[in-house]
């Protein structure tokens, strides 16, 4: 006799291997259209599901959680970030929340370096010029960018992704600086040859490139504020592959338009999928559509983690990737 399969509602379309395995293991209800669920659809889902598998496009706030049926016991988030879920409200209702950390680290770090290279070497600008038929041949001063060797990279948030970026940047001959809630271990600091700055303002004033890798919490909202952005040197670049709310987009666009900083590369935005028009119109900026973990390998591994978390919960054990309020 087969054990009863729990009702799992998945809010977005996931890679085929993940969805196939979910259908095998669970009573899985899939989103075949991949259209983000509106509020009414989420209310319906949270009222029927034993397990909800949302993504970053779903706002699972306290009001929604209060409307959940008593059968909802697990929110198995597809993604590492959980700032779209009210963890405290879920915990109070006895609902476990899990995420998918670790599996997107390397791919997000790769994309971060792609943005660093794109903005420092003006590659997107050059590609557009060529396609527009404006390339008339090599010239000694054509589209001069900045080399990376010897430059100072300031990493804000030295977690898994920040460390992966540091390792890549060292291979390019960059010097690693970082700001974090606390220093990394002496062994890791030695391995990365990384300099710790307790004071973020002091670090920002000294680096050539700043790359954001902090999780989003109320404490990190507008971490790179207008005031802090003005501390950057005129030749500095800003990179953000973490969360849009870490950065004052209006101030960044103003500084780019004024030529007060050299450029920026963004993969995340404050009001996704809407992008601030001032960013779209700003010079020397590369804008990507939230591609940080967008590889088949990473997205499949994220789905596998969701499945492991659900299976572990089904077996009566604590899921390996449980998120608690005090962890944020």
pLDDT above 80: residue 22? yes
Mean residue pLDDT of the chain comes to 96
- Percent with pLDDT over 70 in the chain: 98
Residue 68: per-residue pLDDT: 95
Residue-wise pLDDT tens digits, 42-86: 999 999 999 999 999 999 999 999 999 999 999 999 999 999 999
Neighbours of 213 (CB within 10 A): 27
Q: Which residues of the chain are in CATH 3.40.50.720 domains?
A: 7-103+295-327, 105-287
Residue 325: per-residue pLDDT: 87
Mean pLDDT for the stretch of residues 271-282: 96
pLDDT above 50: residue 105? yes
Residue 204: per-residue pLDDT: 98
What is the radius of gyration, based on Cα positions, of the chain?
A: 22
Residue 1: per-residue pLDDT: 36
Residue corresponding to tokens 């599901």: 49
- Among candidate residues 272, 304, 317, 318, the one labeled active-site is 272
Q: At 295, phi and psi to the nearest 5?
A: -125, 150
Residue-wise pLDDT tens digits, 221-271: 999 999 999 999 999 999 999 999 999 999 999 999 999 999 999 999 999
Residue corresponding to tokens 């591994």: 301
pLDDT above 60: residue 328? no
Q: Tell me if residue 227 is catalytic.
A: no
- Among candidate residues 23, 48, 290, 322, the one labeled active-site is 290
Q: Which long-range contacts (CB under 8 A, 24 or more apart) does 250-259 make?
A: 250/226, 250/276, 250/278, 251/225, 251/226, 252/224, 252/279, 252/282, 253/278, 253/279, 253/281, 253/282, 254/278, 255/229, 255/230, 256/282, 256/283, 256/284, 256/285, 257/282, 257/283, 259/234
CA distance 213 to 211: 7
Q: For residue 200, give the nearest of 231, 240, 169 by alpha carbon.
A: 231
Residue 21: per-residue pLDDT: 97
Residue 50: per-residue pLDDT: 98
With a CB cutoff of 8 Å and minimum separation 6, the contacts of 304 are 18, 21, 103
DSSP 8-state code for residue 238: E
The CATH H-level (homologous superfamily) assignment of domain 7-103+295-327 is NAD(P)-binding Rossmann-like Domain (3.40.50.720)
Q: Tell me if residue 322 is catalytic.
A: no
- Among candidate residues 160, 243, 249, 299, the one labeled active-site is 243
pLDDT above 60: residue 13? yes
- Annotation: CATH topology of 105-287: Rossmann fold (3.40.50)
Six-digit token string for 103: 């599996």
Q: At 92, phi and psi to the nearest 5?
A: -65, -35
Q: Tell me if residue 272 is catalytic.
A: yes
Residue 327: per-residue pLDDT: 61
pLDDT above 80: residue 326? no
Mean pLDDT for the stretch of residues 163-188: 98
- Percent with pLDDT over 90 in the chain: 97
């Amino acid at each position: 006799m087969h054990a009863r399969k729990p009702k799992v509602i998945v809010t977005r379309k996931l890679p085929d291997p993940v969805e196939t395995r979910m259908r095998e293991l669970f009573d899985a209800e899939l989103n075949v259209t991949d259209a983000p669920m509106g509020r009414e659809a989420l209310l319906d889902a949270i009222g029927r599901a034993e397990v909800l598998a949302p993504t970053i496009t779903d706002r699972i706030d306290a009001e929604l959680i209060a409307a959940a049926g008593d059968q909802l016991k697990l929110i198995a988030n597809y993604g590492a970030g959980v700032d779209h879920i009210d963890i405290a409200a879920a915990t109070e209702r006895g609902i476990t929340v899990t995420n998918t950390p670790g599996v997107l680290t390397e791919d997000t770090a790769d994309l971060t370096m792609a943005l660093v290279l794109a903005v420092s070497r003006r590659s997107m600008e050059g590609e557009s010029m060529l396609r527009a038929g404006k390339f008339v041949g090599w010239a000694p001063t054509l589209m001069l960018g900045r080399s990376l060797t010897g430059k100072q990279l300031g990493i804000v948030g030295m977690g898994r992704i920040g460390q992966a970026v540091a390792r890549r940047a060292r291979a390019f001959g960059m010097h690693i600086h970082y700001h974090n809630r606390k220093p990394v271990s002496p062994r890791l600091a030695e391995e990365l040859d990384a300099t710790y700055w307790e004071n973020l303002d002091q670090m920002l004033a000294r680096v050539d490139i700043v790359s954001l890798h902090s999780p989003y919490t109320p404490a990190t909202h507008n971490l790179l504020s207008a005031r802090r952005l003005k501390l950057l040197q005129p030749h500095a670049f800003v990179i953000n592959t973490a969360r849009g709310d870490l950065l004052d987009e209006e101030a960044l666009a103003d500084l780019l338009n004024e030529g007060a900083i050299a450029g920026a590369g963004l993969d995340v935005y404050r009001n996704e999928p809407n992008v601030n028009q001032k960013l779209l119109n700003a010079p020397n900026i590369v804008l990507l559509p939230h591609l940080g973990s967008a590889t088949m390998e990473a997205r499949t591994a994220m789905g596998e983690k969701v499945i492991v978390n659900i299976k572990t919960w089904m077996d009566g054990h604590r899921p390996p990737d449980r998120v608690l309020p005090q962890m944020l």
